Structure 1
Amino acid sequence: MEPLIVLNEIKSIKEKIVYAKSLKGLESLQLVFFSKKSLIKSLGLQNFFISDFPIKLISNENITDLEKGSEKNKLINTFLDFDSIEAIKLFSIAINQISIGYIVIPEEIKLSKKLINTILNLKFQLENSIKIKQLEIKLINSNNDLKNKLLEIESLIDVTDIIDNQHGLMQDLFEGLLVTIISILNSSKGMVLLKDEKSGFFNVVSQFNILKEELPSKILRITKGILKELDENKTSKIVDNPQEYSLLRPSKKNALLSPIITGTELVGAILLFDKESRNGLVRFTQQDLRLFDSLSKKVSHAYDNIRLIDSLKTSNKLVDNIMSSITTGIIMINILGEIEFVNESAKKIFELDEEGVINNHYFMVFQNNPKLIELLEKSEIQDETIFEDNFNTIDSKGSSREINLTLSPVYNEQNERSGLVFSFEDLSGINKIKSTFKKYVSENIVDELLQNENSLELGGAQNEVCVLFCDIRGFTSLSEKMKPSEVVYLLNNYFEAMIDVVFSHNGTLDKIIGDELMVLYGVPIKGDNDSQNAVNTAMEMFKSLEKFNVRMSEENLPELKIGIGINFGKVVSGNIGSEKQMNYTVIGDAVNLAARLCSHAKSGQVVISESVYNQISNQKSFESQKPIMVKGKSNEISNWIFNA
């Protein structure tokens, strides 16, 4: 088994060190710490601590080389027992970029890339263990002070930033988060479940203080039990009857549950069991639930960020765009109205200088925002949570910003109010979201949905609409002779060319059906002459197709041929489907006739109905044809053809 995999699977940090020293080439590996003595001792690593380690040997460089015979080489050998004085590599173990120790390797044997990766992985796990232990100690000594808890959460975000650049360390992230949340809420035990993207089943990725026999022994599905309830409600909850759910049987009193959500999908859950007190196990309260829900939402946000980053690593530009749109600010205000904590996002959004904000009253900090001050006062006086969407603010430089904000009162252990948390999201990236949405849905439909909230309701209305169908002729037999990758490449480029023409004539792309396009004119936006726009689109499609075929032939790809059918008539347009899944589309006999005319069209032809012909100005471009019979019609259909 690969050393990196083994190293990750070993739980004890001391055993990790022993294992690393057992590897060939690392037998002479030594460890030394010269700072954070109590912290190192708490991890059981006190034997590696040297209190009088020379200051001149300490450096914040990630890797330091000490040449054979150098003064520093000789000096370090007075503290470490090497068989011979060889060249030495020092790998810095750092906390907050300050070195507190070294992994020391004498270069008797040239280090391979695999061994260096093993050393760096051990270094990372040592640093991560130290940070988590440091966080645990802070939590134990904080007396549940909310300011420290928020700072601890911010520290976890720093850990998340490190893990973003690692592979396969998601479990380490959730172990740290679980320890933090359990400490904050004084829970006796807990676990984190995550959904496997391939199987759809949920697995335990992190647990604390749960016996092996208490862990789930069956496959966890979203279709039953407590996970089904979480998926349906997608809200944090207290379960006072845990013994009725197999997943919650580790609990003796009650349990806290919170979903981990990406978009609208349940991708995981955090479960805490039984609150500890001086009098033993007690039940969680609604106050605990409020705090737990707030913390869990931050977990969802962090997990969502990691998934986004992982899925978009192949495109640095797109990653930058996504990251710049993720902005969540947190400001902690104490009972006196003084600001105690401001995270980095809040500083950026409001252009704040930490020195000028911390310990200042919010009246002074937000003096340019009288409406925000009114909301803060209201939250203080009425002791209630306040939500505001699309709230206008002014930053310290006088620039206007729009935010979604939440003002949440917080309480101490005696259930006395201790201040409030002001959390908010910057909405400056909304145009980026619109742009992304318009890649999946026609721009006209997006604008209609954003401007009219009733457009999101099921139902429809009767409208006169021009419908265009465009189909590739003989594509099925053509694609059978091509590689799948070539088929996808050809279709993607073809659709891009055709859809650009559609949008340039104010068409609404209803759907793509295989190799066929269905385009609407007249909904959701009505034009001066929708039939003319449809005909103009069809004619320009042939011009665009000709250029497209020339370009594809240069890449040794086959030429495409299309046929187009257009009809104008009354249809029902609107959101068709269910509350959970709906599509904006049109239905009716006029749609069916347009599809039949497209089927009748030969390669290079546009076939239009009489209702279209009567409304267009370029009738001379079309030739009258013998009426045809089409499926679903008892009478013959008059039609006109344009030959490209």
Structure 2
Amino acid sequence: MLGLMLLLCAPMFVDLVCHDAPRAEAGVISYRGWGRLTAPVELSGQWRLVWLGHDGSAIPPGATTPALVPGQWSGLAMPDGQRLPPSGLVSYRLILRDLAAGHYTLHIPITFAAERIYIDGRPVAGAGRIATNAAGTRYDLRSHEISFETNGAPVALRIDLAAFLHRDNGFVDALIFGEAQPMRRWIALEWMKDLLFHSALLLLALNALVAYLFRRQDRASLYLALAALCAIPGTAILSYDNILLLALPFLNFTAVLALQYIPTAASIGFFLAYSRALFPRETPRWLFRVLLALVGAFFLAQCLAFSRGDTLLASHIAVAWPAVLGFTLLGVIGIVLRAVLRGRDGALVFLLGIAIFTIFSVNAALVWSDIVPDRYLLGTASLPLGMLMLLFSHFVVVAERWTLAIVAAERINADLRELIEVTSAITSEMQLDTLLARIVEVTSRILNADRSTLLLHDERTGELWSLVAEGLTTREIRMDASEGLAGHAFTHGEVLNIADAYADPRFNRAIDIATDYRTGSILTMPVTARDGRRLGVMQTLNRRDGRPFGEDDVTRMVAFAAQAAIAIDNATLFAEVVTSRNYNESILRSMSSGVVTLDRDAGIAKLNAAASAILGVPADQLEGVDARALLASTNPWLLTEIEAVAATGERKLLIDVDLVTVGERVIATNITIVPLIGENGPAGLLLLIEDISEGKRMQSAMRRFMTQKVVDQVLQRGDELLFGTACNASVLFADIRNFTTMAEALTPRETVDMLNEAFTEFFEAVAANDGVLDKFIGDAIMAVYGAPLPTGRDPENAVESAVQMLRALHLLNERRGGRALPPLRLGVGIATGEVVAGTIGSPKRMDYTVIGDSVNLSSRLQDLTKGYGVEVLVCETTAAAVAGRHPLRELDLILVRGRQRPAKIFQVLIEPADEALLDHYQRGRDRLAARDWTGAATAFRAALVRDPADRPAQLMLARAEALATDPPAADWNGVWHAAAK
């Protein structure tokens, strides 16, 4: 395309000037033998320069020297050896000989000087005001077209130049001369070049400005428009004629020069910004800053010079312009070259355009700065062509990007359609596997990827597992949640776009090995719920075109990851709702109490199987029935209670009331009426109906004092265990010491709280050892082990319960101590023997309990713990059953009321006791049995030496000392029995 553009525009840049024409020598050009000037020629070569003077110059006016045109006079040597200064008034003179008779036209280009033109001594044109000093000189930067006729005689051409305000002097460009007709064609072509050049600049600026106005985020177009607009004043001044002065003839030389230098410097700065905005990722920050600083320094230097009104200084600073322009454009070429290597859209065409523009513009800058003569390189005529190529390349870039934008928009529309379909599927599809497979498949298609995978986080195992994985032959993949790129994305919440997975050390190759797959590019991102929870990871592998994933791919995948998160949340919520519903249904089905719900209009909304059984009617016959009509005839009192609860919004409990069922059967029930509250206020009522007929009462009573395990066993055995049976059991009495004294210092509420806190621990100790809590007796409890069903180790269970109670009491006292409360103490008595167990009471109120000699003995033992100062006392039978499992100490013989034979009692040692103390104590008991009262007293004293606070040893010592003082009669057994009382 660029080649075609060059071909179409090439005729406009054909050089019509004949460069083989004779050159001037010693101020004379002869066209003898040349013929007619049918093509324009350059009046170049050696002219004769006449020095006309400069205020303060030592060179005498009228001195002459040869001078090259084009070229500057500064530094030329005069006949006396002096060098011409850069400022002054000079006269260029040339004789044209051997011209054919006819009409001719002479073009004198723009010079930075005041001018007067003479032909054959006759003034024909001029610009500005000529003087021999800067104060009297005024510039008017215009070119000249001078027409004249000759009859073949020599023509004397004289051009006077006064140069003081600019570093340039003489002629920068060659003078063009020829017959009128060829010159008109050449002049028209030059104007056409200028028109093309400035039209290209203006079109470029307007096109870019319009693009920016319609798309404000397109900063590149804005910078290009500003660059083109700022370039127009400088190029307009240095065109075929000074177009700026043609439009604004009132401008003085300082203003014209300022409009040439300052906007031009700004133009290259904007062009640099344009290139960066066009290819931001390819523009190194350091390069941009260096080039911008270079352009900025040139711009500020020019502004400083013009702020002082020093046009001569400004013209000297302008010598650096080709270098500034060249370095900047080379930097831009480097930026565009990087864009080409990275495959950016339109970069190659723009590189060609900017390269051609750089060559032509730097060439023109070198010529305009008088660093390179116009006859070398490409001259200035090629600059419009360079601008045209830049304009065309920009249009190509814009067209390609807009085309891509349209394609991207169409693709986005397709993506949106896919998202809408997926979103619709989310609202209708609750099968998580099916829905997520659809999302993964769409993600792969839209991202043009080979395959995609969705990994979910398993909180139980701390792993990521493949819920949906395309292309896998295995059922699922599992990995640690911190392993590989997926683990990194999940644990850190980062999006990872890796062009080469194998070059990243975080990549786990084991998955590729296991699946026989080669991962190249990979895009990984966490799937995050709306509340910030990370649900898993989505991965997309290997674009089918071989390119790495881009930013657009990341954006699309973010959208689908969000959809996946919504799908997972919705499906999970749906599963939870279903589970909760099934759970609630299971609860309702398993409840022995009937549950009936009423809506706001008193219609029966739902009832469970128990309610259906209690009321004696199938559930489907009652659902939707008006409860008011149903209850009006059979249970009007219940209807009144329901209406009261609906009116007040306060729950109500009805105890032991008779309910008439649908089948006219009367049953005893407990009914609870509870208001239901919805989002918008009252939503209905709930009735909880408990059948407390005789069988139900029995089960209810059993559950209050038996564990569920025992209840199940009793129900399997039938009623014979409940209504009276003899069995061997262990009975435990536990009493809180000094409770009456403590309660006097407490409020009733504090007393109840203290008992509840202690009894909670005691009940757990009983239940944990297969005991049945018979009753609470004030500050004491009674528990039974082995009734109604024996376990084979009932004494051991009773003693273990006592030990656990005391240990729990120790922890409880630690907590009470932290609250500045006094500690609690406990006494426990345990007796084992035959008891009678059964339910006792009325049909509406009954309890299960045991009676017998062992009950009395255990209560007596609990009382004796106070006198003996111990915590646990057991009978001889219990001690025999637990011997070897718990440390014991035989304490004494007691005679229980109602018994004729004394019973031995034993202390259960909670903590290991001093063996020496136990030995002394037992020796004292043996001495008592042998009637050695003194020896017994000695043994008990030795025991008290080991533990002065041992209460049993203290009691036995008192007994031995009393017997030693008053020995008993011969009937020792009677005396012992009396003492045992």
Instruction: Identify the TM-score tier after normalising by the shorter chain.
Output: 0.3 to 0.5
Higher helix share: 2
Give me the TM-score of the superposition, normalised by structure 1: 0.36
Higher strand share: 1
Give me the TM-score of the superposition, normalised by structure 2: 0.25
Higher relative contact order (CA 8 A, sep 6+): 1
